[in-house]
Structure 1
Amino acid sequence: MASQLDMTATADDGIWTDAEPLVCCSVVPEAPNTATFSFVSPSGAQFRYEPGQFLTLELPVPGGTVWKTYTISSSPSRPLTISVTVKAQNGSIGTRWMLDRLQPGMRIKATGPAGLFTIPRREQKKYLFISAGSGITPSLAMTTYLYDRGTGIDVTFVHCAHRPQDIIARQRLEQMASRVPSIRLFFIVEDDDPYRVWTGLRGRLNQLMIGLIAGDYLEREVYCCGPEPFMDAVREMLIALGYDMDRYHQESFAAPVKKEEQLPEHDDLVPDDDIGASVAFARSEVSADCKQTDTVLAVARSAGIVIPSGCTFGVCGTCKVRKTAGEVHMVHNGGISEDDIDAGFILACCSKPIGAVEIDA
């Protein structure tokens, strides 16, 4: 994709280059410790970039300059300004300075735009955008671009936040979705706002939610951005659901990349139907050969071993058993606690043996 991007603009083209500073033209609060900063070029040049790319800002904080990279939250379909949406975390220095000090009229230096986490401009595809926290910004830029393009829009937008008040750009997203029915929004929160009713989804994103929200997820290009543990969990869910991971794209807002050789290699474990495994049921003194793609519950049933079960989808926890040896690939949907996992328990319905495994059953 990167080879198709023509980002070689010069100032003579009337296109902004990072040889020219940016002038802050507006600051819009979005959520607690979060704001969108918009910029124009002093010469009036327009901005050219791809939806989902990022800028690196040179911030003159007390004690010395720091460089911070932020995903561009605006769309290249609106080229007169360029915006970044920033959220201050505990210990933030550069972002905290922006929220406390950066005002309209001030100038700062920037480099970019750059980055490979983008969508093709001219192709019409079905998208599933999944984000958490300030990882919403590339999904926001991509959705705005598709909304402005106005044809062939098919977006399912899933965002996870701690509370409703933490959802960034909620009104902008709802405004677009209210005018284009094929933009479908789903917000998932862990806690309610005090004294306000929340009627949306609660909890943590899981396989069940993906299936309910986007039943056609196998047909969609998935773009994911958020904290690394969140993206790791999303990848595991999609692998367990049989998704074609060649169509999966992710960007860490903590460390975006500029070149293909910088893309991280994910050491994801994908159970293989062509690789054998085995499960030994210690108390029953029964062993059975199987494939990596078989669940421990399915192997037990084939061997005549009774393990109580309910939902068979990693929710109810009925099939919890202790694993005494070996490794399994388990992707559950909330039916087991981290303490139980640390103690050696697994859910038989959603655990697949990797090699030889022994179960206390």
Structure 2
Amino acid sequence: MKRSDCLLACLLAAALCARIAAAQDPAAEHASHHPSGTQPAPVAAPSDVRMPPSMAQPGAPATNMAQGMEKMMERMGAPPPKEIYPSLMELPDLPLEKREQVLKQARERMQVGAGLMSQAVDELAETARRDDYPAMQRATASLRQGIAQFESGLAAQRALAEGKAPRNIAMQWFKREMNLMPVGSAPAPHGFFGLSAFHYVTMVFTGALAAVLLWIFLARQRRASALAAQLVGAPAAVGNRMGDAFPASPLPVATSADLVPSTMTPAATGQPGPGLRAAMPVSTTGSWSGQLRVARIFRETANVKTFRLAPSAGEELPFAFEPGQFLTIAVNTNGKVVKRSYSIASSPCCHGWCEITVKHTPGGVVSGHLHEQVNVGDVLEATGPYGRFTFRGHEAPDVVLIAGGVGITPLMSSLRFLTDQSWAGEIWLIYACPRLEDVIFREELGYLAKRHPNLHVTLVLEEASESWSGELGFVTADLLTRTVPDLGTRRIHLCGPPPMLDAMGKIFTRLGVTPEQVHTELFLTPEVRCAPAGEAVPASVIATCSFSRSGKKALLPPDMTVLEAAEAVGVAIDYSCRQGFCGVCKVRVVAGQVTMEVDDGLTPADRAAGMVLACQARASADVTVEA
């Protein structure tokens, strides 16, 4: 057993024995505590405790036991007991004169304690100046004794003045002095697991925060996966547009107009031409829709402009695109929203902007609006990117690019991207234009050909001029054989108007080029639809398209789509890409049958439900659609 526990047991036993002998005269007891008339020595307050009579065993020899316990405590070094706390313990049972006596003793105790504290403070200050450490320790002990004396008297006075239970005050003071209880008791635990409401709120808040952070992490992972799926290869450093600041070159450049890029082949019957097939699905269609600001406008030729489009807010484009994809631009003209699709001619390495190159076609609604109404700083509505006519360099070790007129725009995006990446494969570009002044990107093509030895540029002009000494006429089998070695083993990307694609299909068949090697994109002018030159479409083969919801009808010639027929009679069918990829123009066929050259925008469920793409649907007999 520890010494402190032995001392506590002895004190309690002494208090019990002393309380049994409480019949002695208080005055005599007080005199016995102060022999020879001296002042009482400072004592610790815990020795004031005596047990009440109710705690003594009946019939016990109280006096002898008390005396024996007091002698034992003296041998242990404890001072003799005092009367005040035993009286305080039985305060409710004391008569009035006894209460007065207790009050007097309490005041005396407070006076003695105050005197001890004052004397101890003076001694402590004096010994501190002398660095007398033993004396300082004695002064400190005297100060603690004075505090104990003063607190014991104060507790008795408090019990008398406040009417509180004196036994509780005495026991609490005694336990505190004997280190039997903490100074401040902690509140009892409550709730589940003994936690407070503050703990529960904190736990809920922390859990919610962790859940939000986890959701953000997973969302970013999904977005990164989507971007990785769109970008087959990581783009290199941002490239700069070349155009106005290149050294002069004899190479001409092409144009772009209100022309709709499409993977359709040019045959009037709707079947792929000889040696041609639709572009392979090597990229995903876009789902972004928003506004782009016109940052710069470059004039390429007399009727061709390039529009650099940048984010309205932020530093990077809000979408990623593949070289060769296109955007759908919507303009409001004469109170009507009209949409046209334009290939992105810039490299995907340019993260902060993209460019579309547009030729002003006579009567072109959107091209006319862009050329005549749009200025730097204006905002355009755009959706996309769309299209699968792409090439990044990993599809083949080399590539042949053949363009006619505005068909240079998607090929230019791939060409810029490949040179930005310093692609090591061989690149052959064969580009046909009517005249030298019609060639778009003329200076840039010359600059790139000089800078990159693996780029071989061949321009073919229909009309001769004094400043031109290159190829004249059209792209022929002989020209291809002379220009591209081993053409039958190369990957070919072909983009141009329908007559060119039809002629090239026959040339490829003659040269032994398989359809799997050729990837095409067709450019069509949506404002003008006519029969082949020199031919007339008999009225007997013109079908009728009925629109069940609006109650309108429209003629549907073989070369016209359901979407174009709807626009002719004012039936609103929403659309975006106009080439069968986005699926915005889906309608249900109620009666009749249609053919579609591209139906990538339809899901298996759409096909099972009789849905068709209005921008691709053609018919040779009457049809009815829900619109």
TM-score w.r.t. length of structure 1:
0.66
Q: Which residue, out of 494, 501, 507, partners 1:231?
A: 501
8 Å contact 2:392–2:414 — kept in the other structure?
no
Contact 1:116 1:257 (8 Å CA) reproduced: no
2:197 is the alignment partner of 1:197 = no
**Secondary structure of the residue that 1:178 maps to in structure 2?**
helix
Equivalent residues in 2 for 1:213-224, closer than 5 Å: 213-224=483-494
1:288-307 equivalences under 5 Å are none
State the partner residue of 2:424: 152
Report the CA distance between 1:257 and its aligned residue.
4.5
Give secondary structure in 2 for the equivalent of 1:30. Answer: strand
Q: Is the 8 A contact 2:227 2:320 kept in 1?
A: no
Cα gap change, 1:259/1:39 in structure 2, threshold over 3 Å: closer, same or farther?
closer
Distance 1:222 1:5 in 2: 26
Task: Give the 3 Å change call, closer, same or farther, for CA 4–248 of structure 1 in structure 2.
Answer: farther
Q: What residue identity is the alignment partner of 2:380?
A: I
Distance in 2, Cα, partners of 1:189 & 1:257: 33
2:306 pairs with one of 36, 48, 60 = 36
Partner of 1:13: none
Q: CA–CA distance in 2 between the matches of 1:209 and 1:74?
A: 28
Cα distance in 1 between the residues matched to 2:451 and 2:403: 22
Q: How much has 1:78 moved relative to structure 2? A: 1.3
Report if aligned partners of 1:37, 1:85 keep a CA contact under 8 Å in 2: yes
- Residue 229 of structure 1: how far off its partner (Å): 1.3
Q: Name the SS of the counterpart of 1:6 in structure 2.
A: helix
Moved more, 177-186 or 121-130: 121-130
- Partner of 1:78: helix, strand, or coil? coil
1:81 and 1:151 map into 2 onto residues whose CA distance is: 22
Q: Take 1:199 and 1:247, find their aligned partners in 2: how far apart are those partners?
A: 31
Which residue number corresponds to residue 519 of structure 2? Answer: 249
Alignment length (residue pairs): 254
Equivalent in the alignment of 2:344: 72
Higher helix share: 2
Report matched runs for 1:74-89 at 5 Å: 74-89=346-361
**Distance across 2 between alignment mates of 1:259 and 1:58:** 15
Distance, in Å, in 2 between the alignment partners of 1:263 and 1:146 is 30
Whole-angstrom distance in 2 between the partners of 1:213 and 1:172: 21
2:403 and 2:411 in contact (8 A); partners too: yes
Counterparts of 1:239 and 1:144 in 2: how far apart (Å)? 30
Aligned to 1:60, the other structure's residue is in SS state: strand
Query: Does residue 1:258 correspond to 2:530, yes or no?
Result: no
* Amino acid of the structure 2 residue aligned with 1:149: Q
Following the alignment from structure 1 to structure 2, what is the Cα–Cα distance between the partners of residues 182 and 235? 26
- Superposition RMSD on alpha carbons, in Å? 2.5
Residue 173 of structure 1, CA deviation: 1.4
Seen in structure 2, the aligned counterparts of structure 1 residues 127 and 262 have a Cα distance that, compared at 3 Å, is farther
| Residue 292 of structure 2, aligned match among 22, 27, 33 | 22
Is the Cα–Cα contact under 8 Å of residues 55 and 70 in structure 1 kept in the other structure?
yes
In structure 1, stretches of 5+ residues that fail to align are 9-15, 266-361
Matched, 1:6 2:229: yes
Which digits, 9 at most, give the CA deviation of each residue in 1:325-356, with x for residues without a partner? Answer: xxxxxxxxxxxxxxxxxxxxxxxxxxxxxxxx
Deviation at 1:262, TM superposition (A): 6.7
The residue correspondences of 1:296-335 to structure 2 (distance < 5 A) are: none
How many angstroms does 1:64 deviate by?
Answer: 1.6
Q: Indicate yes or no: 2:444 matched with 1:172.
A: yes
Within the candidate set 458, 481, 485, 1:211 is matched to 481
How many angstroms apart in 2 are the aligned matches of 1:201 and 1:153? Answer: 25
Looking at structure 2, the residues matched to 23 and 59 of structure 1 have their Cα atoms a distance apart, in angstroms, of: 13
Q: 2:397 corresponds to which letter in structure 1?
A: K
Q: Does the residue aligned with 1:56 lie in a helix, a strand or coil?
A: strand
Tell me the distance in 2 between the aligned counterparts of 1:160 and 1:187: 6
Give, as a single letter, the amino acid of the residue that structure 2 aligns with 1:174.
Answer: G
Output the CA distance in 2 between the equivalents of 1:49 and 1:114: 8
Which deviations, in whole Å up to 9, do the C-alpha atoms of 1:79-120 show, x marking residues without a partner? 111110011223211111111111110001100001110114
C-alpha distance in 2 between matches for 1:33 and 1:96: 10
Distance 2:337 2:497 in 1: 25
1:122 CA displacement: 3.5
Deviation at 1:20, TM superposition (A): 3.0
> 2:459 and 2:411 mapped to 1: Cα distance?
13
Which structure 1 residue ranges, 4+ long, deviate > 6 Å from structure 2?
259-262
How has the CA–CA distance of structure 1 residues 207 and 116 changed in structure 2, closer, same or farther, with 3 Å as cutoff? same
Compare 251-260 and 116-125 and name the one that shifted more.
251-260
Q: CA 1:5 to 1:164, structure 2 compared with 1: closer, same or farther past 3 Å?
A: farther
- The aligned residue for residue 35 of structure 2 is none
Structure 2 regions of 5+ residues with no counterpart?
A: 1-225, 232-285, 525-577, 584-594, 600-627
1:75–1:257 CA distance, 2 compared to 1 (3 A): farther
Residue 124 of structure 1: CA displacement?
Answer: 4.8
**Counterpart contact for 1:147–1:153, Cα < 8 Å:** no
**Aligned partner letter, 1:6:** A
Compute the displacement of 1:63 (Å).
Answer: 4.3
Q: 1:111 to 1:234 in 2, by over 3 A?
A: same
Deviation, 1:61, is 2.1
CA contact (8 A) 1:188 1:204 kept: yes
* SS of equivalent to 2:333: coil
**Structure possessing the higher radius of gyration over alpha carbons:** 2
Asked whether the equivalents of residues 188 and 202 of structure 1 are also in contact (C-alpha less than 8 Å), the reply is: yes
Amino acid at match of 1:18: W
Q: Distance in 2 between matches of 1:262 and 1:36?
A: 32
CA distance in 1, matches of 2:462, 2:288: 40
Shift of 1:151: 2.8
Distance 1:257 1:217, change over 3 A: farther
